[in-house]
Chains A and B, each alone.
Chain A
C-alpha cells in the first residue's frame, strides 16, 4: 500500500491541475448539461424537470433547429472538401521540384492564423458587400455581382470562401505527409511511363490516406464548431433570413439572448452526439480505406 502510494504520488501531483480541470470543467459540465437538457431553466428560478420536452420540441416543432442543421451541414459539406482539396493541391505543388518553398508556405499559412479573428470577419463583410471589392472585380469582367452578404441565397458561400482561404494548416500537415512518401516509388513509376494522374491515384493517394483521414476528421469537427465569423458576418442573429444560422449561433442565442438554458443544453448535447457520431464513423470505417505503412504493434 505504501509502495503503491510512493510509486503513484508524484505522477498524480503533476496530473492534479488537469484532473481538477477535467472534473470541474469537462466531465461535470457535460453531465450537468445532460441534466439541464431535460429541464426548463431560465437562470432566475430553479431548473424544472420536463422530461423529453426539449428534445420533442426540437425534433418535431422547432423549424429554426432544422434550419440551423441544414445551414451547418451544408457548410461542412462544402467547406471541408473545398479546403482539403485546396490544401492538398497546393501541398503537392510545393512538395516536388521547387528548391525554396519557405516564403510560399508562410504566405499560405498566414490566413489560417488570422482567419478566426474578428478583424478578418469584419473585413469579409466589406469584401463581399454590394459595393465591395469582389463585386468591383466582377464588374471589370462585366458581371453584375450579387449583394453576397445580404442575399440569403449567397451569404453562406462567403463563409465557404473564408474557410477555403484558410487552407494553410491542413496544407502543412499534407506537406509533412508527402515528405514521408519514398521518392523511388515515383522514379520507378516514371521509368515505367506511368502518367502523372495515375501516379497520383496509385501512389500519392493510397500512401497519404492516413494523413487525409486525419485532416478530414479534424476539419469536420472544426467546421461544426464554426462560430465567430458566422456570428460577426450575420450580425449575431443568423441573418439574412436565417441563412447564416449556424448551429452554434442558434445555440448561443437560445442560451445567452433568450436565457432558455435548458433548451440550449439539449441543443448542445445533440451537437456533441453529431460530432461524436462523425468521429466514430470515421474511425470505424478507417480500416477499410486507410492503409498504414510500417504498421506497428
Chain B
C-alpha cells in the first residue's frame, strides 16, 4: 500500500516535471525565434557599419573629385573610370612596375615561407632528435620578439652585404624561416597526422626525406594552403621592411607607391589615390573570398593573428 502511494506520487511528479519541461521548451522556442530575429537585425546593422568605410572608399574611387567630400552617398552621380586610368600613371613610374615588384617579392616570399617553415615544422613535429625541446622553446620565443628589435643590426648587416635597394633583404629571410608563426601553424597540423604512417613507411625503408615529401606534405595541403594565403596577404601589405630597404622608386612595392600619393596630397588627387587604394586591396579580397574556409580554420586551430 505504501509503495503504491510513493509510486503514484512519483508518477505525478514525473508528469509535472514533463509538463514543466514542455512549457520551458515552448517558451524557449518562442524566445529563440524572437531572439533570433533581434540578433539578425543587430548583426546586420553592425555589418553595415563595418562595411560602410570600404564601400565609401570604393564609391569615392568612381566619383568626380568635387563629389568625394561632403557626400555620404554610395552611388556616384556618374561613374568616372578616369580615376583609375589616370591614377595608374599619376606617379613618375606607372603602377604596372609597382605591381610587378610586389608580385615578385610576394611570390618569392611565399615560396620561401612554405619551404623553409615546413622543413622546420617537420623536424619539430615528426622527428626525434637531441635538443628538440630546447630549439622548439627558442622558436616559440622568437614569436614574441618585435621586428623593431632586430631591425637595426639587420639593416647594418644587409647594408654591408650591399643588399640595400635590392629585394634580397625582403626575400632571403623568408627562405630562412624567419616567420616563426608559420612553423608553429604547421607543427600544430603535422602533429595531428597519425604516427603509424611514418612508422609503416620507415619499416618499408623510406628515408625521412621521402616521408616528408610523399606522406606529410600531401596530407598537409590545408595547412600549407593556410600558410600560403596568410603569408601572401601579409607580404603584400608589408610596409615597414620595404620602407627601409627600398629607396629607388623603380623598385617600390605597391604600399610604398600609395604612400607617395600622400606626399602629393596638395594636388587634390583624392579620387586617383582612392582608386589605387582600392586596386591594392583587390588581390587580398579575392583571396579572402576564394579561401575563406582555409583562413578561418587556420585561425581557429592555430589561434593566432
Contact = CB atoms under 8 A, between A and B. Distances in A.
Interface of A: 4, 7-8, 10-12, 14-22, 24-26, 28-30, 32-33, 36, 43, 90, 93-94, 97-98, 104-114, 116-120, 122-127, 129, 131-133, 136-137, 165, 169, 172-173, 175-176, 190-191, 211, 214, 218, 221, 224-225, 227-228, 231-232, 235, 248, 251-252, 255-256, 261, 264-265, 268-269, 271-272, 275-276, 279
Given A4-B130, A21-B116, A117-B281, A279 B144 contact: yes
Contacts of B273: 122
Contacts of A125: 262
Determine the main DSSP class of B at the interface with A.
helix
B255 A117 contact: yes
A205 to B, nearest CB: 18
Nearest to B120: A18
Interface of B: 21, 24, 28, 32, 35-36, 39-40, 42-43, 46-47, 50-51, 53-54, 56-57, 60, 69-72, 115-117, 119-120, 122-124, 127-130, 132, 135, 138-139, 142, 144-157, 159, 173, 175-178, 183, 207-209, 212, 233-234, 237, 239-240, 244, 255, 258-259, 261-262, 270, 273-274, 277-278, 280-281, 284-285, 288, 292, 295-296, 299-301, 303-305
B295 to A, nearest CB: 8
A117 B185 CA distance: 23
Contacts of B72: 133, 136-137
A257 B48 CA distance: 41
Given A17-B176, A90-B43, 11 more contacts: A10-B209, A11-B132, A17-B116, A18-B139, A98-B40, A114-B54, A118-B277, A126-B60, A169-B304, A225-B147, A256-B244
A10 B132 CA distance: 13
A25 B56 contact: no
B56 A122 contact: no
Contacts of B148: 225, 227, 248, 251-252, 268, 271
A7 B57 CA distance: 58
Contact of B24 (A124, A191, A252): A191
A103 to B, nearest CB: 8
Contacts of B285: 110, 114
Contacts of A172: 296, 299-300
A190 B139 contact: no
A19 B176 CA distance: 8
A88 B257 CA distance: 37
Given A21-B177, A136-B70, A272 B149 contact: yes
B146 A271 contact: yes
B292 A24 contact: no
Contacts of B147: 225
Given A10-B208, A14-B127, A25-B150, A165 B145 contact: no
A119 B54 CA distance: 10
Given A14-B127, A18-B176, A119-B277, A97 B146 contact: no
27 contacts: A10-B208, A11-B123, A14-B120, A15-B135, A18-B120, A20-B176, A21-B116, A25-B154, A25-B178, A26-B150, A29-B152, A97-B39, A104-B43, A104-B47, A108-B47, A113-B233, A114-B54, A118-B280, A125-B262, A131-B69, A132-B69, A165-B53, A176-B303, A191-B21, A248-B146, A271-B149, A272-B146
A232 B162 CA distance: 28
B120 A17 contact: yes
Contacts of B154: 25, 29
What are the 3 tightest A-B residue pairs by CB atom distance, in nearest-first order?
A21-B176, A119-B277, A11-B129
Contact of B156 (A18, A43, A124, A129): A43
Contacts of A136: 70-72
Contacts of B116: 17-18, 21
A94 B44 CA distance: 12
Nearest to A255: B152
A123 B53 contact: yes
Contacts of A252: 148, 240
Contacts of A176: 300-301, 303
Contacts of B130: 4, 7-8
Contact of B153 (A11, A16, A32, A173): A32
A276 to B, nearest CB: 7
Nearest to A86: B46
A112 B71 CA distance: 26
Contacts of B261: 122
B145 A26 contact: yes
A23 to B, nearest CB: 10
A124 B253 CA distance: 21
Contacts of A261: 152, 156
